[in-house]
């Protein structure tokens, strides 16, 4: 079936950009991380053409130049208007979710009022198709939308080449911590931060690079370098070339039952990124990571209890051979299982389906 009144190939996709839900001065980082690599990959392979425009700047001529529109976690009245206008003009509309934003957890810095939540529900119901990042989200969505499609996250290994066999760790030890929209821990938050501080105090030679949203305790961590934000590809190139010894990735698990469902809706995108870029990762023992990480092989799984984080950081810091093993095996796993070819063809199917 044609995508609009005139048949064009490759199809032309309008990506609707928005302001971040957690940082009002930044554009959405979810769109850049989830769709930027996939759409660049597809355009490079001649599968589609795409353009990103901020939702407040889209005009009628922009609709006419495209065959489909894509929105991710939009919540504004303008986003709903865009879906309605696009459908009236015969464009295919895709609404994407990679978080359950209809019920945000207590650690989130974002607040959504009833009107905003109503907009989200309307967009979910009015879009031609809804895509999600994992089966947990897909199952939850059934009461609003019986049918949705899973569009998995992946990594563009062609655009960001890397080889674990020639990796050089930084001369001065550096570790990585990236985080947006609040540290995703509740009951173990204080203990995690205490153990991170303790590790840095025990090892005064170590530097910690932090990428993300500030949190209240940030000033307590010794030798923390605030790296802020960079465009997705620039960020990935930077962390690939920084020679990080390892990364810490806290996420609430069974110990936080009130946020367990929300956290389980997330994807393992940090594992995909770090594994693809040669950064051994240390991940909370949460369903998002226990389903993909093999402890001691492709990463470290850490229970959010007691002194487990301090012990795991110390063990990985002291064992160069273990870091290299994880570096090589997580990279091999990401190459084998987290490329973009399958997701590219899935997105084409979603655009073309009548």
**Residue range(s) occupied by CATH 3.40.50.2000 in the chain:** 12-154+339-352, 164-337
- The pTM (predicted TM-score) of the whole model is 0.92
Domain with residues 12-154+339-352, CATH architecture:
3-Layer(aba) Sandwich (3.40)
Kindly give the confidence (pLDDT) of every residue in the chain, 354 residues in length, as a single tens digit, with 9 standing for 90 and above. 333 334 567 999 999 999 876 666 678 888 989 999 999 999 999 999 999 999 999 999 999 999 999 999 999 999 999 999 999 999 999 999 998 888 877 777 566 788 889 999 999 999 999 999 999 999 999 999 999 999 999 999 999 999 998 889 999 999 999 988 789 999 999 999 999 999 999 999 999 999 988 899 999 999 999 998 888 999 999 999 999 999 999 999 999 999 999 999 999 999 999 999 999 999 999 999 999 999 999 999 999 999 999 999 999 999 999 999 999 999 999 999 999 999 999 999 999 874
Signed CA dihedral, 75, 227, 233, 316: sign only? negative
Structure tokens, 127: 């879009």
For residue 32, give every residue at least 6 positions away whose Cβ sits within 8 Å of its Cβ, in sequence order, or none: 231, 232
Q: Could you say which architecture CATH assigns to the domain 164-337?
A: 3-Layer(aba) Sandwich (3.40)
Phi-psi domain of 83 (left: phi exceeds 0; alpha: psi -120 through 50; beta: other): alpha
């Amino acid at each position: 079936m044609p995508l609009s009144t005139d048949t064009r190939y490759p199809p032309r996709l309008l990506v609707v950009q928005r302001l971040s839900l957690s940082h009002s001065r930044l554009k959405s980082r979810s769109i850049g991380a989830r769709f930027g690599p996939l759409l660049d990959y597809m355009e490079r392979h001649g599968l589609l053409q795409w353009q990103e425009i901020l939702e407040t700047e889209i005009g009628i001529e922009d609709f006419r130049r495209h065959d489909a529109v894509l929105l991710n976690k939009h919540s504004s009245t303008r986003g709903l208007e865009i879906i309605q206008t696009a459908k009236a003009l015969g464009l295919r509309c895709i609404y994407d979710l990679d978080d359950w934003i209809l019920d945000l957890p207590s650690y989130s810095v974002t607040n959504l009022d009833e009107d905003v939540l109503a907009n989200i529900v309307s967009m979910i119901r009015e879009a031609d198709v809804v895509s999600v990042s994992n089966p947990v989200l897909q199952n939850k969505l059934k009461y609003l939308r019986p049918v949705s499609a899973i569009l998995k996250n992946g990594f563009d290994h062609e655009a960001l080449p890397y080889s674990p066999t020639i990796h050089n760790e930084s001369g001065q030890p550096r570790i990585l911590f990236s985080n947006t929209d609040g540290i995703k821990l509740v009951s173990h938050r204080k203990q995690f931060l205490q153990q991170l501080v303790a590790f840095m105090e025990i090892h005064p030679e170590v530097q910690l690079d932090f990428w993300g949203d500030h949190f209240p305790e940030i000033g307590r961590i010794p030798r923390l370098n605030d790296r802020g934000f960079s465009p997705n590809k620039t960020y990935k190139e930077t962390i690939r070339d920084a020679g990080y010894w390892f990364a810490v990735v806290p996420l609430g698990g069974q110990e936080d039952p009130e946020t367990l469902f929300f956290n389980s809706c997330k994807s393992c995108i940090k594992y995909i990124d770090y594994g693809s870029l040669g950064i051994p990762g240390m991940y909370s023992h949460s369903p998002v990571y226990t389903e993909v990480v093999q402890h001691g092989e492709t990463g470290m799984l850490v229970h959010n209890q007691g002194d487990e984080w301090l012990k795991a950081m110390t063990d990985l810091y002291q064992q160069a051979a273990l870091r290299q093993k994880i570096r090589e095996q997580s990279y091999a796993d990401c190459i084998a299982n987290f490329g973009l070819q399958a997701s590219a063809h899935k997105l084409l199917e979603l655009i073309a389906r009548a």
